[in-house]
């Protein structure tokens, strides 16, 4: 592929914006980024469009953004494509991701870049709860996000209050970790899991969250299910032994509860009377033991899967 001449230039910041039919939001988003950054940093906006059927791509191009199209679907895929593009086709120090819906404050981009360029952190994430417009997020989403963030904080041992925040900045030389990661979680959480696994130094800054321009691309019920699924996957992947051990022990506990009745009966009468209860009890105990074995195997696989890349601080 021929890389356009201007992309051979060095930029301080690459700003990746995933878009899917954001005709109403894309122009104000790009305009406010231009105003907020001014001449403080050199930057290039990379819009990763998900086959929008409206004028999003044309508007972005006319405003000077580089527009690329993802071939697959989804927000996470779009970001991975954008990070890959920045890493392999451009030269930049910092990569930023932001939505095209006017929900984030572009002034925070420069703050984040400052932190990364000064070497205070490798990865900066916003905390939208610090300054959130009243109707910017539904109550269900707010609670779901808080619960997920608290689980992520505990399991991943990283300090984040808002694990789903879509305004983030990181050192571009770490981009490959994010676009290569395939931990099977929704992308916002996947990035944090990689951050924890690779000891990337993360820092949180307070940010704003405004009400969206245009329609959301996500569905609240699906979103809730996704959050719950993510919590379960996080527990399974970060603490496989305790995850499967607790499930196994619960099964064995219930099995033993039924089993004791059968055993007491047997001691008294020397016959096994309750056949269905006996079968249930044995089944639960066997399944419980199997689940615990699964935990032991998963634990071994997890420990073997650690990346061997070397990280250091100066």
Using CB under 6 A, list all residues that contact ligand GDP.
Answer: 18-20, 22, 48-50, 70, 73-75, 78, 99-101, 166, 216-218
Residue nearest to ligand GDP (CB): 50
> Rounded to an integer, what distance in angstroms lies between the CA atom of residue 268 and that of residue 272?
10
Pattern 221-260, Mg ion, x by CB under 5 A: ----------------------------------------
**Encoding tokens for residue 31?**
């305009």
Least spacing, CB of residue 1 vs ligand GDP, in Å: 19
Least spacing, CB of residue 133 vs ligand GDP, in Å: 13
The neighbouring-strand residues paired with 125 are: 168, 204
User: Which residues, including other chains, have CB under 8 Å from residue 209's CB and lie 6 or more apart?
Assistant: 103, 104, 128, 131, 132, 133, 136, 137
23 near Mg ion (CB under 5 A): no
296: number of Cβ within 10 Å: 12
Distances (CA, A) of 91 to 48, 173, 175, 235: 18, 10, 12, 37
- Shorter beta-carbon distance to ligand GDP: residue 46 or 100: 100
Q: Parallel, antiparallel, or unpaired for β 91-97 and 168-171?
A: antiparallel
The neighbouring-strand residues paired with 208 are: 131
**Encoding tokens for residue 65?**
């953004």
Least spacing, CB of residue 104 vs Mg ion, in Å: 8
- Shorter beta-carbon distance to ligand GDP: residue 101 or 190: 101
- Shorter beta-carbon distance to ligand GDP: residue 218 or 250: 218
* 28 contact choice in ligand GDP, Mg ion, none (CB below 5 to 8 Å, kind-dependent): none
- Shorter beta-carbon distance to Mg ion: residue 59 or 174: 59
Least spacing, CB of residue 202 vs ligand GDP, in Å: 20
* 3 contact choice in ligand GDP, Mg ion, none (CB below 5 to 8 Å, kind-dependent): none
177: number of Cβ within 10 Å: 21
Binding residues for Mg ion restricted to 74-103, rule: CB under 5 A: 99, 101, 103
- Whether 126 contacts 188, CB under 8 Å: no
Least spacing, CB of residue 276 vs Mg ion, in Å: 53
**Encoding tokens for residue 75?**
């927000």
Residue 92 is inside which H or E element, if any? strand 91-97
Least spacing, CB of residue 5 vs ligand GDP, in Å: 26
Least spacing, CB of residue 128 vs ligand GDP, in Å: 10
* 218 contact choice in ligand GDP, Mg ion, none (CB below 5 to 8 Å, kind-dependent): ligand GDP
Residue 156 phi/psi, 5-degree rounding, is -90, -10
Task: Catalog residues that contact Mg ion under the rule CB under 5 A.
Answer: 99, 101, 103
């Amino acid at each position: 592929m021929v890389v356009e001449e201007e992309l051979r230039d060095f930029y301080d910041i690459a700003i990746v914006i995933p878009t899917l039919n954001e005709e109403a939001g894309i122009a104000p988003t790009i305009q406010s980024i231009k105003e907020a950054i001014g001449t403080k940093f050199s930057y290039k906006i990379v819009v990763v469009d998900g086959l929008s059927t409206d004028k999003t791509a044309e508007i972005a191009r006319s405003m000077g953004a580089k527009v690329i199209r993802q071939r697959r679907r989804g927000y996470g895929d779009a970001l991975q494509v954008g990070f890959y593009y920045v890493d392999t086709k451009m030269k930049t120090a910092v990569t930023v991701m932001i939505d095209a819906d006017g929900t984030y404050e572009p002034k925070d981009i420069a703050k984040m870049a400052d932190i990364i360029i000064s070497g205070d952190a490798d990865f900066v994430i916003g905390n939208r709860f610090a300054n959130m417009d009243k109707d910017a997020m539904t109550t269900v989403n707010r609670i779901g996000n808080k619960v997920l963030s608290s689980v992520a904080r505990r399991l991943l041992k990283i300090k984040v209050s808002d694990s789903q925040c879509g305004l983030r900045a990181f050192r571009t030389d770490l981009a490959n970790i994010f676009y290569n990661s395939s931990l099977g979680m929704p992308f916002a959480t996947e990035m944090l899991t990689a951050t924890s696994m690779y000891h990337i130094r993360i820092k949180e800054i307070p940010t704003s969250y405004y009400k969206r321009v245009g329609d959301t691309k996500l569905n609240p019920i699906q979103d809730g299910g996704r959050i719950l699924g993510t919590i379960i996957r996080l527990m399974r992947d970060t603490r496989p032994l305790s995850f499967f051990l607790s499930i196994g022990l619960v099964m064995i506990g219930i099995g033993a509860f039924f089993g004791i009745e059968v055993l007491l009966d047997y001691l008294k009468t020397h016959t096994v009377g309750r056949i269905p209860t006996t079968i249930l009890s044995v089944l639960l105990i066997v399944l419980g033991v199997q689940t615990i074995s699964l935990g032991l195997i998963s634990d071994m696989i997890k420990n073997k899967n650690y990346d061997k890349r070397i990280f250091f601080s100066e």
